Every structure is written in C-alpha cells, then in structure tokens.
Chains A and B, each alone.
Chain A
Amino acid sequence: MTSAGHGASVSIGRRRSAVVLLVALSALLLGLGGRLVYINVELRDRLLARAERQRKSSTVVPARRGMILDRRGRVVAATEYMPDVFVDPTRVDDVDSLANKLGPPLNLPAERIKQMILRRPGSQYVLLAARVDDVTAQAVRAIDHAAVGLDEKPVRTYPLCESMAHVLGWVGRDGTGMEGIELAFDEHLRGKDGRRGTIRDARRRGIMPSDESPIPPVDGGHVVLTIDAELQRITEAALTRGVDGVKAQSGVAVVMSPASGDVLAMACYPSFDPANASQTSPKIRRNRAVTDPTEPGSTFKPFIASGALEGSFVSLTEQIDCHMGKHYFGSRLIQDVHGYGLLDLKGILSHSSNIGMSTIAGRMGNPALHNIIRRFGFGAKTGIDYPGESEGLVRPLRKWGSLSTQSVAMGYEISVTPLQLATGFSAIVNDGVLLRPRLVRQLIGSDGVVVRDSEHPIVVDRAVSTQTARVMSRELLPAVVEDGSGKAAKLDGYRMLGKTGTAKLPYENRKGYESGAYMGAFMGAAPLRDWGTPELAVLVMIRRPDPTLGYYGGAIAAPVVGEILQNSLAYLDIPPDKESLASADAP
C-alpha cells in the first residue's frame, strides 16, 4: 500500500510536471506564434522596406552641363569630374600615421588633418580637400587606405581661366548658373541627372542592376557665342596694358562687327577667375560693359552731329564760331581745351569743340536732340542676351532744363552703357542701321541639333539716313584720327575713323563732379574703305586714371583701340589698303 501509494504520488508528480512543461511550451509557442504574426502583419512593410534599402541602392548618374563655345568652336566653359578627398573616421585605427601620409599630397599640415578627423569621430564622411587635381588624386589613391576615399563630382571649369570671365559668368556649387551666360541660358545648359538601381551584398558591393529600369541622364545643350577667343585675348591684353599704364581703376572694351551686330570681344579689367568667383567681390564680377551706365563725354558728339546733319541744322561747309575756347551760353560758361576761332563740322568733331557742338545743339533744340538720342537706342535696353542689362539714363524730354541742351551736346546729363555706345557707333559705321547686339550665335541641343540660330542680323531701326551715316563715317570721323584728337589710334596699313571722349566722374554719394576723377574713352572702326562697312568697331573706356599720367581719351584710350584694331585686323586676315601702306612708306 505504502509502495503503491508512493508510486502513485510520483506518477501524479511527473504528470503535473509534464503538464506544466506542456503549458510552458504551449505558452512559448503561442508567444512565438504571436510574435511571428506580429512580424508578418504589423512589421511587414517596415521590415521589407528596410531590407530593400539594405539590398538595393540608387546611384545618381550626373548629367553634363552643356559647353559654352566661342564662334570658332573653342571650348570656353566645360564640365569635368574632379574628386573630393574624404576620410571615414570610424575606420581609422592610427590617426597620426594616416594624417602624416595624407599631409604631403593634400598640401595640408598633418596636425590639421588630425584635428579634422578627430573633430567628428562618429561621422563616416569628413571632407579633407575639395576638387583636387589628377596628380593629387593619384597620390591619394596610392596611399590605399580603407578609411580614405575619393568622391568624384562634376565641376564647371573654364579652360581660358580669367579670359571672358565677365561674359561667361559662373555657376554655384550646386551647378546652377549665377551670372552672365551661365545664368541667362541656365535652363538650356543644365541637363537632367539620370538614376540607376543596384543590388548590393552585405558589404555594400554592387552585384547586379536592380529590376527597376534605369533612367538615363539627359545632358545639357551647348551655347555658341559670337565672341572670338583670340580677339578676346588681343582685347584683354591691350586693355590690361592700357589700364595699368596709367594706373587706372578699371577699364572696359567692346569689339563689335558693325555689319552683323555680333559682339566679338567684351572685356572688363580687372577680371576674376570664374572657377573661384565666390572669392571675388561682386563689384569686380559685374560686367560693366552691360550693367554700368556712365556719362559718355565727347564720344557722344557724333550722334548729335548726325542728328544735326540729318535735320539740316548745319551744313558741312558752314563755319561756326568757337570763340577762341570760351563762350557764355546764357549764364553758363562753356570752355574748350584749346581755343579755336571758326571751325566747320569736321573741325568741331576732330578737335572735339564743346562750344561748336553746343552751338549746333542750340539750333537743334531739345526735342530734336532727344529724338536723335532715342533713335540711336540710348535710354533703352539693347536686347542683348545677357542678364542685368541697364537701359542707361535718358531723362524724359519734359524733365530737360535750360542747361540740358549744352550738357547733352557734350555728353553729360545722360548715361549710357559701353555696349549702348558701341552699338550706336556701329550704327553710324553701318550706314545708319541700328542692329541688336548679339552675344549668342547658336544654341545647340545635346544631340547636336541646332535649336536656335542667329545667323542674320536683327535690325532694330534706322537711326539716320545712309547719306548722313556715310558723311559721318567717311568724311567727318576719319579726320579725328588723321588730324584731330585721336591721332594716337592711327593704324599701319589701314584707314580708320573714331572719336575721343573725356568725361568727369560724379561723386558716388553726392551731387557734383569729383576733382581729378576722369573717364577717358575712344571708339574707332576699321578698315575704312570706299566700299563696304568696316569689319570692326571698338570702344575702350578707361576709368579713373592717375591724372599725372594722362586722362584724355585721345591719350589713354586711343592707343588701346589702335592696338586692338591693328592686331585684330591682322588676325582676321583683312588685307590692308595699299594706299595707306604707300603713304606710310613714303619718305
């Protein structure tokens, strides 16, 4: 009984244990089942997405920003890959050793590299150097360290360096055009990045393309400029010498083809490197040829003279009294640099007589003056493909005062941009037809198809009659260079025409003109022949020269125009006039 009772109690105990175990196991299984259901139902989407993220990766295939080319197909702005050097601090074992290895190729002190790495120990990306060159990149690759990587990024580069910088503008770090042509044609130049998916292994190495169909990149289109890089070089070299020679603050030069309106060169000095534009002040980056209006001084006289001839306010043979250099118009004293007695229109222009021109302007009256100014396009934007163009300042006729007649005749009380002045002068040279200046010749798609072609000149208006324009360009203005104030521009082997100008500069913050602050200018065109339009028209403005070294346009700007024309005509293979050569050779 006792043994039987003992056996029964053991059996009951075992059974109870089994039941407990069974219940525990069941509970465990139930728990696991519940967890399984929770994972499969509740966490399913999140986990699947996470797995997808770990397995697949999407890589951006960068589109290429289109190139900018000069009129002869030279690349003046392009895009290339340049690597950034970075370090993953989580994979660095010996910071000192790595810093010592990276220092020489990156041209950075080892201590500085060490600080950069230690400053962000938890980060996986510490940028050490951006946009390194090929040699540096190779040296970094040769270190072959698991923590060091090169991240290649498309970067905008300008093969001509500072040349043409003001025309081209620049792009920001995100590849968006910020100024100049880069900004004006940003939409055309900018491409659309592509994308491709990759399936990766646990170590993030690419195994195969993912199922998603890749999106190919669409490269940006190209822009062909009207500018010739060689003419630009010639212009920039001459302008630099001209500005430095008289220790001037700045200079602007515009070279145009009068027959087509093409801008062949446009230079501002000092210049800047468009690849590092953000390091230059906005004042220097501004394309002053297009954005900065200034009082033109005597370079404005040919436009007034054209209007006077056109309206028969003066004849070519008429002698006008220039009062030996001093004369009162009402209560206002007007003076000439040198005193002259009687001068005809040719003499007035070649000696740049303020008194003579004021007399003629007085005959014309304000309405006729205002009319001719507007007909040459002053006071309105030229319509060039360039952002931020200024329209200059031509006040409405009702705001002109009694002194305006003489002031405008001498190129004051009016502001024009160098581009407007060059365009207006080109109209005189081009038989009186005002053309829209052009900076862009063609827009080409990334597939090579021409999207926009500006082959034909765009006529804006007829400023003056052909007859008046020819009298101006073939009889009156050549005298400025042959016998007048612009002799310094004279060319070897070519006849030319031109006009000098010197203007006082106003104070920036208050009324009145600054003492000793001048702008010397000269505009010229060549070659002058009995037939056809001169090939080139050039305007040079030199601002704030050292007055002790010279400040008259005929002294400081005319030689620069002469140099630009002489070299440009030779470059363009334009044959010289035999008559000019013969007269130059004559003893």
Chain B
Amino acid sequence: MTVTRGCVLLAAFAVIALAVVHLRAEQTRCASRALKIESDCVRLRGDLWSLQTRMARMRAPDRIHDRATYLATGLVPPGTREGAPAGAQRRVERLAANVPARSGRTSEPASVRLQPRRKHTETRE
C-alpha cells in the first residue's frame, strides 16, 4: 500500500515536473517569438521610412519634369518657359479658350487654394 502510494506520488511529481518544463519551454518560445516580432516591427518601421522617402523622391517636381521630358509624351509639365513661353503658352491658350483641364489632373483643393479670401477682403474694407 505504502509502496504503491509512493509510486503514484512519484509519478504525479514526474508529470508535474514535465508539465512545468514544457510550459517553461513554451513560455521561452513565445517570448523569443515576441522578441522577433518586436525586431521585425522596428525593421518594418525602417522599411516604411525608406519607401516613403523613395516615393517622395519620385514625386519630386524636378524628377517628374525630367521624366516627362525624357519620355517625350507631349505632356509637357507646366512651368517651362525659358525666354519664350512654350508649354506655358499652350496652357495659357487652353485656359483662354475655356477648355477644361484633363480629367486626370485635379485642380488645387479648396484647403490650399490661394484665392479668393473673401472674408478677409470684407474685413479689410
């Protein structure tokens, strides 16, 4: 009876010990995974910054201007008068004839519009 009880107790201790070891190992694995995710997060932050910078470089007016000129698509960007108005003149003519802008080109949003500032004018006067 005593021997049997002792064996059962030993077995129970062994199972508990194994469970503790297993849980501890699992905890370490999870912690390690968390560490890796944290590292990935930092790396992805860096990648995001790099991509944003790369996108900003591609959106740089100089680069767009050079690309449009290089591709010779006929979509001469505005602001090309050098001595005589070339692309700008065509644009002026188009505007004078009240031809609407191409659908692809959005005009400046109201939030960044330079004019009018009716409220301010009223205050001044």
Asked if A391 CB lies within 8 Å of chain B CBs, one says no
Asked if B32 CB lies within 8 Å of chain A CBs, one says yes
B-side contacts of A570, CB under 8 Å: 78-79, 81, 85, 87-88, 91-92, 95
Q: Name, among B83, B96, B114, B117, the residue most crowded by chain A CB atoms within 10 Å (CB to CB).
A: B114
Asked if A385 CB lies within 8 Å of chain B CBs, one says no
Nearest-neighbor residue (CB-CB) of A259 within chain B: B117
Which residues of chain B in 38-90 are interfacial with respect to chain A, using CB atoms and an 8 Å cutoff?
38-39, 42, 45-46, 49-50, 52-53, 55-57, 59-62, 65, 78-83, 85, 87-89
Asked if A278 CB lies within 8 Å of chain B CBs, one says no
Asked if A78 CB lies within 8 Å of chain B CBs, one says yes
Knowing A207-B35, A208-B28, A208-B32, say if A80 contacts B53 (CB, 8 Å).
yes
Main secondary structure of the interface of B (DSSP, over half): helix
CA distance in complex: A221, B83 (Å): 42
A-side contacts of B31, CB under 8 Å: 207-209
CA distance in complex: A163, B60 (Å): 10
B-side contacts of A75, CB under 8 Å: 52-53, 55-56, 59
Q: A161-B62, A260-B114 given; name 4 further pairs at CB < 8 Å.
A: A61-B42, A159-B60, A233-B79, A576-B96
B-side contacts of A157, CB under 8 Å: 53
A385 to chain B, nearest CB (A): 18
Q: Name, among A80, A154, A459, the residue most crowded by chain B CB atoms within 10 Å (CB to CB).
A: A80
CA distance in complex: A555, B45 (Å): 52
CA distance in complex: A196, B36 (Å): 13
For the A-B complex, the count of residue pairs with Cβ-Cβ distances under 8 Å equals: 163
CA distance in complex: A64, B82 (Å): 40
A61 to chain B, nearest CB (A): 6
- The reply to whether B79 and A206 contact each other, CB–CB distance below 8 Å, is no
Contact partner, A72, options B35, B95, B112, Cβ 8 Å: B112
- The reply to whether A207 and B88 contact each other, CB–CB distance below 8 Å, is no
- The reply to whether A81 and B49 contact each other, CB–CB distance below 8 Å, is yes
A-side contacts of B78, CB under 8 Å: 230, 567, 570-571
Asked if A398 CB lies within 8 Å of chain B CBs, one says no
What are 22 A-B contacts with C-beta separation under 8 Å?
A74-B59, A76-B56, A78-B52, A80-B52, A157-B53, A160-B60, A160-B61, A161-B60, A196-B38, A198-B35, A207-B28, A208-B28, A208-B35, A209-B38, A233-B61, A234-B79, A257-B114, A431-B125, A457-B120, A535-B115, A563-B81, A570-B79
Which residues of chain B in 97-125 are interfacial with respect to chain A, using CB atoms and an 8 Å cutoff?
98, 101, 107-108, 112, 114-117, 120-121, 124-125
- The reply to whether A493 and B92 contact each other, CB–CB distance below 8 Å, is yes
A-side contacts of B96, CB under 8 Å: 493, 575-576, 578, 581
A-side contacts of B42, CB under 8 Å: 61
A-side contacts of B32, CB under 8 Å: 206-208
Nearest-neighbor residue (CB-CB) of B89 within chain A: A492
A573 to chain B, nearest CB (A): 6
- The reply to whether B49 and A79 contact each other, CB–CB distance below 8 Å, is yes
Asked if A433 CB lies within 8 Å of chain B CBs, one says yes
- The reply to whether A74 and B95 contact each other, CB–CB distance below 8 Å, is no
B-side contacts of A79, CB under 8 Å: 49, 53
- The reply to whether A233 and B112 contact each other, CB–CB distance below 8 Å, is no
A-side contacts of B125, CB under 8 Å: 431, 466
Nearest-neighbor residue (CB-CB) of A241 within chain B: B82
Asked if A468 CB lies within 8 Å of chain B CBs, one says no
A-side contacts of B89, CB under 8 Å: 492-493
B-side contacts of A433, CB under 8 Å: 124
- The reply to whether B49 and A206 contact each other, CB–CB distance below 8 Å, is no
Asked if B20 CB lies within 8 Å of chain A CBs, one says no
Write out, one digit per residue, whether chain A residues 246-264 have a CB within 8 A of any chain B CB (1) or not (0). Answer: 0000000000010110101
- The reply to whether A160 and B49 contact each other, CB–CB distance below 8 Å, is no
B57 to chain A, nearest CB (A): 4
Asked if A71 CB lies within 8 Å of chain B CBs, one says yes
Contact partner, B46, options A78, A80, A207, A214, Cβ 8 Å: A80
